[in-house]
Amino acid sequence: MHNGGKIIIGLIIFLILITFPIWYNVANDRAGYSPELEKAVRGDNCIRDSAWMRPYHMDLLNTWRDQVVRQGVRFETGPDGSTYELSLSNTCLSCHENKDKFCDQCHNYLGVDPYCWNCHIVPKEIQP
Amino acid sequence: MSVERRKFLKLAGLTALGLAGGASPRALTDDSSTIDTTAATPEGPSGPLTAKRWAMVVDVKKCQEHGRCDDCKVACHLVHNVPDFGNPKDEIKWIWKESFEHAFYDQENEHLPEELKHTETPVLCNHCDNPPCVRVCPTQATWKREQDGIVMMDWHRCIGCRYCVVACPYGSRSFNWRDPRPHIMKTQLDFPTRMRGVVEKCTFCEERLVRGELPACVTACKAGALVFGDLEDPDSEVRKLLAERFSIRRKPGLGTQPEVYYLV
């Protein structure tokens, strides 16, 4: 192999660089980090259980969007018999009122950037 | 050397396949059928306001007698978080006052009554029966609701192509050239704002109708010049007014069948 030594050294440097985020987090004692969500400020139980909500809330919100805007259906009775408005700002955020400590925790961790908030209002951010 | 490369490629291909298979468990287990969409209970003191064909009647005389006021515009723009950029180039408007000769340029006969010539009349989206904006929208972000004839806007879908702005013969549609959020006077928490790059217009307050409330402009008008009702209901107030008095519509010759009537 021509220039074998240089190639191997280059590969080692490359591997160190590409795994840098892992070393960095281990060095900073954040290796086992997982996002911690703030508990709902009010309300006893969510309209769905959190195990379902965690992977599917975006599908639920998309369904709500289509129901409200396209079909004009603004209220729904959940599996537990309670009726609620299909609204991100008025229903979800009335209990989980702190977007920074709830939504953003996972979204930042996973590097997703939903554009809900370009239009939908976070009541806490608006109030003085 | 060549054998090694072949082996390497095979291995790389298999690895890529394995990664692709493992990366999409959500797509395979996606199950949104648990959402119950059948039961829907409306809220509000008297339930939602419904009609077969919503329409508005503007009493130009009453509006004019009350003097120059902007209550309808102020109320509408407040509840819908309509921004005020302070210059006509970026202006966003859902309802506004227009001089008679501008609103009805094709009916501007000579020697009109003086008071009519100088009057200002509120104009808004006409929620046409044959809306040209709907025909040109490439994404169906605007469409005519089958149940009550309201020409709706879906701001999630609007891609900002502005075909509808060009197609609307009434200038009822406005485009957000800039981020509207910093220019909203007093943000209402129960209505979303818009973002840069979408078109907006009057929606006949469909979000208020579903709560059992009349449109904001109708409620705000102290002169009672704006009347809102069901055109298909022979006993409705709009039908009575249209039967009693002569009414005109804006640019009827275009065949858009506007559903905002003006009593002159």
Q: Three-state SS across B32-51? A: CCCCCCCCCCCCCCCCCCCC
Q: Are A121 and B32 a contacting pair at CB < 8 A?
A: no
Interface of B with A (CB under 8 A): 26, 30-32, 34-37, 39-43, 145, 147, 152, 154-156, 187, 189-190, 192-195, 206-207, 210
Gap between the Cα atoms of B42 and A6, Å rounded: 72
Q: Per mean pLDDT, which range of A9-23, A27-41, B243-257 is the poorest?
A: A27-41
- Tell me what the pLDDT averaged over chain A comes to: 88
Phi, psi of B139 (to 5 degrees): -115, 5
Q: Where are the beta strands (DSSP E) in chain B?
A: 54-59, 95-99, 120-124, 142-144, 151-153, 174-175, 199-200, 226-230, 247-248, 260-263
Decide if pLDDT at A90 tops 60: yes
* Per-residue pLDDT at A64: 95
* Per-residue pLDDT at B155: 96
DSSP B86-98: SSTTT---SEEEE
* Per-residue pLDDT at B87: 92
The shortest CB-CB distance from B145 to any of A72, A76, A115 is to A72
Enclosing H/E stretch for A54: helix A50-65
Which CATH code is given to the segment(s) B54-263? 3.30.70.20
Decide if pLDDT at A127 tops 80: no
**Helix/strand/coil for B260:** strand
Query: What are the Cα distances from residue A92, in Å, to A58, A109, A120?
Result: 12, 21, 12
| A92: its two tokens | 């979800």
Give me the helices (H) in B24-161, please: 25-29, 60-65, 71-79, 100-103, 114-117, 132-136
Chain A contact set for B42 (CB, 8 A): 74-75
* Per-residue pLDDT at A82: 83
* Per-residue pLDDT at B111: 82
Q: Which residue has the higher pLDDT, B28 or B2?
A: B2
Distance in Å, alpha carbon of B58 to nearest chain A alpha carbon:
26
By percentage, how much of chain A surpasses pLDDT 70?
97
Identify the band that residue A40 occupies on the pLDDT scale cut at 50, 70 and 90.
confident
Decide if pLDDT at B28 tops 60: no
Chain B contact set for A60 (CB, 8 A): 32, 35
How many C-beta neighbours within 10 Å does residue B163 have?
17
Q: Are B26 and A60 a contacting pair at CB < 8 A?
A: no
Decide if pLDDT at B113 tops 90: no
pTM above 0.95, yes or no: no
Helices A20-27 and A4-18: crossing angle in degrees, nearest 10, is 50
* Per-residue pLDDT at B246: 94
Decide if pLDDT at B193 tops 80: yes
Decide if pLDDT at B173 tops 90: yes
- Tell me what the pLDDT averaged over chain B comes to: 87
Q: Are A90 and B34 a contacting pair at CB < 8 A?
A: no
Decide if pLDDT at B226 tops 50: yes
| B179: its two tokens | 């981020």
Distance in Å, alpha carbon of A83 to nearest chain B alpha carbon:
7
Average pLDDT over residues A35-64: 89
Q: Could you report the per-residue pLDDT of B57-91, keeping only the tens digit for each?
A: 999 999 988 878 899 999 999 999 999 999 999 99
Q: Is A123 at the interface with chain B, CB within 8 A?
A: yes
Q: Could you report the per-residue pLDDT of A53-74, keeping only the tens digit for each?
A: 999 999 999 999 999 999 988 8
Average pLDDT over residues A70-99: 88
What burial class does residue B61 get, using C-beta atoms within 10 Å of its C-beta: 0-12 exposed, 13-18 middle, 19+ buried?
middle
Query: What are the Cα distances from residue A31, in Å, to A17, A21, A35, B221?
Result: 17, 10, 12, 62
The shortest CB-CB distance from A120 to any of B30, B145, B192 is to B192
Decide if pLDDT at B26 tops 50: no
Q: Per mean pLDDT, which range of A42-51, A57-66, B129-138, B184-193 is the poorest?
A: A42-51
Q: Per mean pLDDT, which range of A40-44, A108-112, B184-188, B247-251 is the poorest?
A: A40-44
Q: Are B142 and B151 in contact (CB under 8 A)?
A: yes
* Per-residue pLDDT at B41: 41
